[in-house]
Structures are given as structure tokens and as C-alpha cells.
Amino acid sequence: MEASLSVISGKWKMTILQKLLAGPIRYSDIKHNVPGITEKMLTQQLRELEVDGIVKRKVYPVVPPKVEYSFTDLGQGLTPIFQSLEAWGAQFLTDSSGELINPDSSCYVAKSEAVVGVDGKLETTNS
């Protein structure tokens, strides 16, 4: 567990990784969607994730420069972990009526047809 936490711990890494769940994203979009992070800190966190083999950086030979970040195969393995954390958080924020209390805009459960079952597991409903 220590090895896993050492790779994803830090004030910004989980937020940055959450933004990558939707697929490749440009540096400027990460910066825009992570309020409060400085360019220096974003660059540092992305470099650490790249060195650890979690994200890959693709530079396009265009002007102005275009840089995109995405998960490596190793990083993609974090997806079910993030979904489990999301389900746990949704359960934690669910009131006695089963309604989510103030989910944030990135909440996977709030944006999908998924609900948290009584057993705490994420369940999808088919429409």
C-alpha cells in the first residue's frame, strides 16, 4: 500500500489524475480545470507522474506548442481504484433518503446512471 500511496499522494496528484480519467487532456485544460494550482506545481506533479510511469506526455510539432497528457497502461490500472473511491465517497455523502449531498462537478456517480447500493457497491441502472 505504501508504494501505491507514494505515487498518488500529494495535494494535487489525485485531482490531476481524476481529470485524465476522461481521456487525453491538454496541459492548458488541466490547468484551467484544477483551480488554485500554479503552473510550477502542475508541471512538477505531471513530471513526477511521468517518471513513475503513470502518465505519458505527447508533444505535437505545431505552433503554438500543443502538449497532451494521458494514462499509460500502468496508469490506466488506476481507473477501477478511482471508481471505487468515488463510490465510497458517494456513499459517505449519501443521506438516509439515498440522495447525494452536494456532489462536486466531477462526481462520477452524480453524472451517471449509477447509484450506491446498500452494500456500498456501485450499481448501474439500465434505462
CATH no. for residue 14? 1.10.10.10
Please name the residues in contact with 110: beta carbons below 8 A apart, sequence gap of 6 or more: 90, 100, 103
Both 62 and 92 in a single domain?
no
Determine the pLDDT at residue 84. 87
The residue among 43, 59, 76 that closes a domain is: 76
Residues 24 and 85 in one domain: no
Q: Give the chain's end-to-end CA distance (angstroms, integer).
A: 38
Q: How far apart are CA 106 and CA 88, in angstroms?
A: 14
The yes-or-no verdict on residue 31 having pLDDT over 80 is yes
pLDDT tens digits for 11-24?
899 999 999 998 99
Distance CA(3)–CA(20), nearest Å, equals 21
Q: Is the pTM of this model over 0.95?
A: no
- Do 69 and 106 sit in the same domain of this protein? no
Length of the chain, in residues: 127
8 and 64 share one domain: yes
Domain with 31 in it: 2-76
